[in-house]
Amino acid sequence: MTINILHLYPKEMNLYGDHGNILALTRRLEWRGHKTNVIHYEPGMEIPKDVDIIFGGGGQDSGQGKIEKDLKKIAKVLKEKIEAGVPTLLICGLYQLMGKYFETAEGQRIEGTGVLDLYTKAGPTRLIGNIVIDSEVFGEVVGYENHSGLTYLGEGLKPFGEVKIGDGNNDKDSGEGVRYKNCIGTYLHGPILPKNPKVTDFLIKTALKNKGESIDLRPLDDAVENKAHKVAASRPR
């Protein structure tokens, strides 16, 4: 069984080692006997029909500017896949751009794709540091946040988790990220997946289920992953 992973804008949106999320996905699939095909999507390309997992990382403002027009062109296709239940992980910059708009500190509104019912406004300071959240699906999730944007979810959307240590979406409502169908949007860098194998396996299980395959994943030795998780959770803010 080959799992096709769509990696959105790997050159422009690869901040804080987000490529490590692709490595976590491919390794945990390969260790269980599955083949992987990572599709590196760049501006101007076409998104293939057969996509099993979608991933998009974070990026600086310059990187976001390079992909803004192209992202709007493929927004319809991405929305169709997310609505169809394709497991998706969006980090920081691409999490923001999937919303309705980003409002700058000067009040300029940059239109987003509208794939997700959320919006972001520039905040007065950066929210930086280790972060721990509690997810009703995944339990404790750890990562590192570094963003000045303050994100607010629309009615009907649930956060990825509740902030225990850190700031989260906006440092006001205790929510971090978003969960919509099988899509996860989050500010957690780190990268997130190597230290949170439950989240990785959720993406894998969902992809296999969508293909009609067994989701009874063979257990792996997660001693290293769990130690990394524990160390990250214990670090001071």
Q: What is the CB neighbour count within 10 angstroms for residue 98?
A: 26
Question: Can you read off the two tokens belonging to residue 235?
Answer: 């670090």
Question: What residue type is 179 in one-letter code?
Answer: R
Q: Of 7, 92, 147, 183, which is the active-site residue?
A: 92
Q: Of 7, 147, 183, 189, which is the active-site residue?
A: 189
Give tens-digit pLDDT for 7-25. Answer: 999 988 887 788 999 999 9
In the chain, where are the structural domains located? 2-234
Q: Are strands 53-56 and 101-103 parallel, antiparallel or unpaired?
A: unpaired
Strand-pair partners of 6: 39, 54
Mean per-residue pLDDT over the chain, rounded? 94
Give tens-digit pLDDT for 118-148. Answer: 999 999 999 999 999 999 999 999 999 999 9
Superfamily of domain 2-234: Class I glutamine amidotransferase (GATase) domain (3.40.50.880)
C-alpha closest to that of 193 among 5, 1, 2, 40: 5
Give tens-digit pLDDT for 174-210. Answer: 999 999 999 999 999 989 999 999 999 999 999 999 9
C-alpha closest to that of 54 among 114, 113, 6: 6
Close Cβ partners of 13 (under 8 Å, ≥ 6 residues apart): 56, 57, 58, 59, 63, 64, 67, 91, 93, 94
Q: What pLDDT sits at residue 61?
A: 62
Residue 72 — pLDDT band, cuts 50, 70, 90?
A: very high
92 catalytic? Reply is yes
